[in-house]
């Protein structure tokens, strides 16, 4: 729980050109702060009728939510001339209606102050809103309002969460008739450590690795059971090099006894589904089937879920309600689950989407470790006997 009285520190606004000397960059909670990684949006009726794909600048920034309504227009141009850094930024033209880019919910470990910085340019005003996520509603904590100019400006404010706050959401929204370009968002607090997700390149083995499968060569038939349409891809078809492709009836399994520790560990892998996230079908990424089991999956309700069971009853789990609903086929996504006696945490594309404190963990599980399920590709799977990734979360 958060400690201390409701307090929001005084607004600090900076409207300056880029500094001449590089400053130390604090750890950033956001895995895609500059909107460089995008993914296709859900198809519209018009696009389906035309047989065309969504234009590149209509793709959505990974881990963020975006809305443009009542005549406002959103784009994410792949154009370094428009971006503050890199190639992309978020662009809203809201001469009518309004538009918002949102990140969250974010865990609030305690009552320490958060710092938010972002770069923006344009005309009109942009509003930043912090919202407290309660079990049954969202409650605004405070809002800040910024005047835009033709040149890039760096805006900054600090926010101390109210007492009892466990999660919060950040909205950056147009205000009135506004055209705005937004880039390079930082969300941090004192003492935050870099997470290191999603990984930028292939993983490696170390003394804590129980199983590592880069899928660069055939699976050892003495170790793996391979059924139906399961094969290693051609070069360049994986996230890194080759990958495992699971077609109709595809199934790969090995021993869980040597490759999994139910008391402490990390599962991390890249998946590329060939289905939509709202297809109403259960898809396992990694699991131990049976009454004494473990599962990391997308379920029929579009929840992304990780947990343990005993006697078919759920022991402990972390999940995000409907998180996969808008997933589109053919997109590589990174999924990681970490667990020990203190906490289970579940990450997708570097974003913490669910956790459970003080989980009940299994002493022994079933003998079979199943890798993937039909209709997906998998790359760079690593299972460890140590927690490799952890964010601070509220106690209790």
Per residue in 37-90, pLDDT (tens digit) is 999 999 888 877 888 888 999 999 999 999 999 999 999 999 999 999 999 999
Mean pLDDT of the chain: 93
Domain contains 391? no
Please indicate, yes or no, whether residues 228 and 176 belong to a single structural domain of this protein: no
User: Into how many domains does the chain fold?
Assistant: 2
Per residue in 315-337, pLDDT (tens digit) is 999 999 999 999 999 999 999 99
What pTM does this model have? 0.92
pLDDT of residue 23: 59
pLDDT of residue 11: 33
Domain contains 150? yes
Q: What are phi and psi of 150, to 5 degrees?
A: -65, -30
Please indicate, yes or no, whether residues 185 and 213 belong to a single structural domain of this protein: no
Instruction: Quickly list DSSP for 109-156.
Output: -SSPPEEEEEEEEEEEEEEEEEEEE-SS-EEEEEEEEEE--SS-EEEE
Please indicate, yes or no, whether residues 257 and 380 belong to a single structural domain of this protein: yes
Please indicate, yes or no, whether residues 270 and 168 belong to a single structural domain of this protein: no
Please indicate, yes or no, whether residues 43 and 179 belong to a single structural domain of this protein: yes
Average pLDDT on 167-191 reads 97
Supply 34's token pair: 């500059």
Domain that holds residue 61: 38-189
Please indicate, yes or no, whether residues 244 and 343 belong to a single structural domain of this protein: yes
Nearest residue to 124 via CA among 75, 70, 176, 193? 176
CATH value at residue 291? 2.60.120.200
Please indicate, yes or no, whether residues 89 and 142 belong to a single structural domain of this protein: yes
pLDDT of residue 22: 55
Average pLDDT on 155-160 reads 97
Please give the residue that has the higher pLDDT: either 198 or 228: 198
- Cα Rg, the chain, nearest whole Å: 22
Per residue in 45-58, pLDDT (tens digit) is 887 788 888 899 99
Min mean pLDDT across 9-23, 277-291, 329-343 is at: 9-23
Rounded Cα–Cα distance for residues 144 and 41 (Å): 29
Rounded Cα–Cα distance for residues 339 and 254 (Å): 21
Domain contains 343? yes
Domain contains 90? yes
Other CB atoms within 10 A of residue 351 CB? 25
Rounded Cα–Cα distance for residues 231 and 244 (Å): 6
Of all helices (H) and strands (E), which one includes residue 270?
Answer: strand 265-273
Q: Is the pLDDT at 125 greater than 90, yes or no?
A: yes
The 8-class DSSP code of residue 26 comes to P
pLDDT of residue 4: 38
- Residue 134 contacts residue 152 (beta carbons within 8 Å): no
Please indicate, yes or no, whether residues 238 and 341 belong to a single structural domain of this protein: yes
Rounded to whole angstroms, what are the CA distances from 251 to 212, 274, 281, 375? 18, 15, 16, 10
Terminal-to-terminal C-alpha distance of the chain: 7
Nearest residue to 103 via CA among 153, 31, 155? 31
Domain contains 279? yes
């Amino acid at each position: 729980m958060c400690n201390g009285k409701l307090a929001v520190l005084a607004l600090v606004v900076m409207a300056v050109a880029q500094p001449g000397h590089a400053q130390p960059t604090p750890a950033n909670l956001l895995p895609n702060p500059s909107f460089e990684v995008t993914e296709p949006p859900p198809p519209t009726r018009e696009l389906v009728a035309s047989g065309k794909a969504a234009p590149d600048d209509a793709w959505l920034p990974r881990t963020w939510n975006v809305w443009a309504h009542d005549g406002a227009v959103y784009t994410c141009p792949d154009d370094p001339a428009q971006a503050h850094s890199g190639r992309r930024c978020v662009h809203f033209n809201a001469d009518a209606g309004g538009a918002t880019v949102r990140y969250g919910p974010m865990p609030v470990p305690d009552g320490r102050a958060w710092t938010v910085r972002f770069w923006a340019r344009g005309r009109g005003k942009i509003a930043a809103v912090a919202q407290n996520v309660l079990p049954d509603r969202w409650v605004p904590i405070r809002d800040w309002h910024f005047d835009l100019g033709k040149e890039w400006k760096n805006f900054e404010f600090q926010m101390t969460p109210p007492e009892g706050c466990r999660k919060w959401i950040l909205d950056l929204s147009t205000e009135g008739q506004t055209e705005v370009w937004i880039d390079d968002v930082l969300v941090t607090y004192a003492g935050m450590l870099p997470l290191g997700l999603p990984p930028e390149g292939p993983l490696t083995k170390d003394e804590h690795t129980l199983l590592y499968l880069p899928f660069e060569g055939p699976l050892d038939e003495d170790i793996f059971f391979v059924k139906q349409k399961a094969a290693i891809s051609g070069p360049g078809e994986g996230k890194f090099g080759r990958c495992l492709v699971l077609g109709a009836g595809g199934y790969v399994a090995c021993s869980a006894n040597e490759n999994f520790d139910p008391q402490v560990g990390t599962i991390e892998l890249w998946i590329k589904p060939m289905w939509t996230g709202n297809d109403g079908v259960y898809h396992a990424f990694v699991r131990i089937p049976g009454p004494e089991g473990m599962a990391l999956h997308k379920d029929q309700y579009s929840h992304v879920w990780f947990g343990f069971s005993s006697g078919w009853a759920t022991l402990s789990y972390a999940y995000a309600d409907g998180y996969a609903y808008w997933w589109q086929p053919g997109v590589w996504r990174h999924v990681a689950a970490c667990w020990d006696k203190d906490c289970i945490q579940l990450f997708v594309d570097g974003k913490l989407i669910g956790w459970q404190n003080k989980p009940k963990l299994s002493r022994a599980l079933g003998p079979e470790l199943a890798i993937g399920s039909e209709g997906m590709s998998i790359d760079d799977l690593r299972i460890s006997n140590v927690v490799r990734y952890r964010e601070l979360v509220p106690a209790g």
